[in-house]
Amino acid sequence: MKAFAQKPDVDLSIEFAGIRSPNPFWLASAPPTDKAYNVERAFEAGWGGVVWKTLGEDPAAVNVSSRYSAHFGKNREVLGFNNIELITDRSLATNLREITEVKKRWPDRALIVSLMVPCVEESWQAILPRVEATGADGIELNLGCPHGMPERGMGAAVGQNPDLIEQVTRWCKQYYSKPVIVKLTPNITDIRVAAQAALRGGADAVSLINTINSITSIDLDNMVAKPTVGSQSTHGGYCGAAVKPIAMNMVAEIARDPETQGLPICGIGGISNWRDAAEFAALGAGAMQVCTAAMLHGFRIVEEMQDGLARWMAEKGYRSLAEFSGKAVVNTTDWKYLDMNFQTIAHIDQDKCIQCGRCYIACEDTSHQSIAKLIDASGARRYEVIEEECVGCNLCQITCPVEDCISMVPQPSDKPYMSWNEDPRNPFRESVTATN
């Protein structure tokens, strides 16, 4: 037994679109939430909620073998993950029964039911009362599944059509009394259009992103992509750490769009640790869904996520998620509003530099030739920034293997803020100055 230890004095509990949860970490609709066994284990491990793997009409879907593939890093760490699974392949009755039982046993946890049925009113009208009867806290519309289901007119086929998003959301609000979360697909041009449609349909919240169409790798011996089913493959849905930047952008787009501002957002996409969660919250996410990280490491990761987030919050003086949620949204703007008079320059900490020359060759070959390679009297190499040539692009800092060795130093300036709209170098300058 561990010794009693001081815990950070913060409240991780949330209320998201009317759904209460002891912490913001939910398991996303996926294999980890496909049955009572897994969900119970997740709750035991400390997850604040789950989105039960998507239910559909009977007969249940049938899956192929195999189903997953990955985009690996050099040390075989999984950078991105890919799957060609369909919605649950268990019967509706079994799932509904288990959902009812689990919710009874874990009343304090959020239990959301993911749904996907054909795009006709009767189908939604038929399933929603049965879902409502389980006692689950809300539903999430799976309008994003990119493989298999769109061919059947569901999943991303709906999520890519704003009119259908609005229509289906409306039916759900009509036949279901609890919160309706609309899960959006990233396989579109402008996520704001889909979010606006969900809002028009009456959505209580949106969640994003679903997976991205992808092919992770090719078996070069057999000339077939992975995952391989016999001798063939198909595109899958991409998720995991690699999609986080894409997901965060889409969350931010919705968070700062005047039409959808204030619409609760459940962040999904590559959330693997407390920092990822804090970043999504900073961009306006009120809850976070996790799947790939749990699939790769097990449910135990939630311990680190809760502890890390709580400690960081305590350090910063945030007592609840709401206190910092969305704080980075106001600092996210369009390119044209960025300050043209701001200048930053790279600085190399010579005490930390290990003289690998990576910054030098990156800058020399591909950027601005603003790092000098010097040899000092003892014959030792030394790299110095040529400040007058440096544009502050960050490439050297990115290539440097030593953390905090290269820093970007903002340069003092007596010039006021000036956007591109105001910049005399802009031939299409707007006559009226806009602000951010």
Partner 1 sequence: MTHPLDHLPRAGHGSDSDSLEANFSDLHPPLTQRQAFIESQRCLYCYDAPCVEACPSDIDIPRFIREIAEDNINGAAQTILEENILGGSCARVCPTEILCEQSCVRNHDTECQPVLIGLLQRHAVDHMHFDAHPFLRAADTGKHIAIVGAGPAGLSCAHRLATFGHQVTIFEAEAKPGGLNEYGIAKYKLVDDYAQKEIDFLLEIGGIEIRHGKRLGDNFDLESLRRDYDSVFLGLGLGTSRQLGLTGEHAEGLMPATDYIKELRQSEDIGDLALAQRCVVIGAGNTAIDMAVQMARLGAGAVTLVYRRGVEAMAATGHEQEIAKANGVRIITWAQPEQVLLDATGRVAGMRFARTEPHGDTLAATGETLDIPTDAVFTAIGQAFDDASLSDVRASQLGREAGKIEVDGNFRTRLAGVYAGGDCIAAGQDLTVQAVQHGKLAAQAIHNEIMAQQEVA
Q: Which residues are catalytically annotated?
A: 145
* Binding residues for partner 1 restricted to 40-59, rule: CB under 8 A: none
48 in Cβ contact with 288 (< 8 Å): no
Q: Which of 274, 360 has the CB closer to partner 1?
A: 360
> Can you list the pairs that 191-195 forms with residues at least 24 positions away whose Cβ atoms lie under 8 Å?
191/250, 191/253, 191/254, 192/253, 192/254, 192/257, 192/259, 192/260, 193/162, 194/143, 194/159, 194/160, 194/162, 194/165, 195/254, 195/257, 195/260, 195/263
CA separation for the pair 55, 99 (Å, rounded):
11
- Least separation in angstroms between residue 205's CB and partner 1 is 42
In 158-295, the DSSP E strands lie at: 180-183, 205-208, 212-214, 218-219, 224-225, 236-239, 265-268, 285-290
Q: Which of 361, 391 has the CB closer to partner 1?
A: 361
The reply on whether position 70 binds partner 1 by CB under 8 A is no
Among residues 361, 391, 398, 434, the one that binds partner 1 under rule CB under 8 A: 361
In single-letter form, the type of residue at position 211 comes to T
- Least separation in angstroms between residue 221's CB and partner 1 is 13
CA separation for the pair 183, 185 (Å, rounded):
7
The reply on whether position 74 binds partner 1 by CB under 8 A is yes
Q: Which of 2, 74 has the CB closer to partner 1?
A: 74
87 in Cβ contact with 53 (< 8 Å): yes
The reply on whether position 280 binds partner 1 by CB under 8 A is no
The reply on whether position 356 binds partner 1 by CB under 8 A is yes
Angle separating helix axes 191-200 and 244-256, nearest 10 degrees:
50
Range in contact with partner 1 (rule: CB under 8 A) among 152-160, 164-172, 248-256, 350-358: 350-358
What burial class does residue 324 get, using C-beta atoms within 10 Å of its C-beta: 0-12 exposed, 13-18 middle, 19+ buried?
middle
The reply on whether position 355 binds partner 1 by CB under 8 A is yes
Q: Which of 213, 407 has the CB closer to partner 1?
A: 407
Size of the site for partner 1 (CB under 8 A): 14
- Least separation in angstroms between residue 362's CB and partner 1 is 8
- Least separation in angstroms between residue 74's CB and partner 1 is 5
The reply on whether position 357 binds partner 1 by CB under 8 A is yes
In single-letter form, the type of residue at position 137 comes to D
The reply on whether position 401 binds partner 1 by CB under 8 A is yes
- Least separation in angstroms between residue 352's CB and partner 1 is 7
Q: How many CB atoms lie within 10 A of CB 398?
A: 11
The reply on whether position 354 binds partner 1 by CB under 8 A is yes
* Binding residues for partner 1 restricted to 97-126, rule: CB under 8 A: none
Among residues 402, 411, 415, 430, the one that binds partner 1 under rule CB under 8 A: 402
- Least separation in angstroms between residue 356's CB and partner 1 is 4
Q: Which of 78, 194 has the CB closer to partner 1?
A: 78
Please state whether 394 falls in left (phi above 0), alpha (psi between -120 and 50) or beta. left
- Least separation in angstroms between residue 244's CB and partner 1 is 23
Q: Can you spell out the DSSP letters for 172-194?
A: HHHH--S-EEEEPPSSSS-HHHH
Q: How many CB atoms lie within 10 A of CB 392?
A: 19
Place of tokens 């993911």: 114
CA separation for the pair 336, 390 (Å, rounded):
22
- Least separation in angstroms between residue 345's CB and partner 1 is 21
Q: Which of 77, 315 has the CB closer to partner 1?
A: 77
Kindly write out the interface string for residues 302-341 of this chain, putting x where it contacts partner 1 by CB under 8 A and - elsewhere.
Answer: ----------------------------------------
Kindly write out the interface string for residues 370-399 of this chain, putting x where it contacts partner 1 by CB under 8 A and - elsewhere.
Answer: ---x-------x------------------
Q: List all residues 6 or more positions away from 134 whose beta carbon is below 8 Å from its beta carbon.
A: 96, 99, 100, 103, 113
What burial class does residue 409 get, using C-beta atoms within 10 Å of its C-beta: 0-12 exposed, 13-18 middle, 19+ buried?
middle
The reply on whether position 358 binds partner 1 by CB under 8 A is yes
- By the criterion CB under 8 A, which residues form the site for partner 1? 74-75, 352, 354-358, 360-361, 373, 381, 401-402
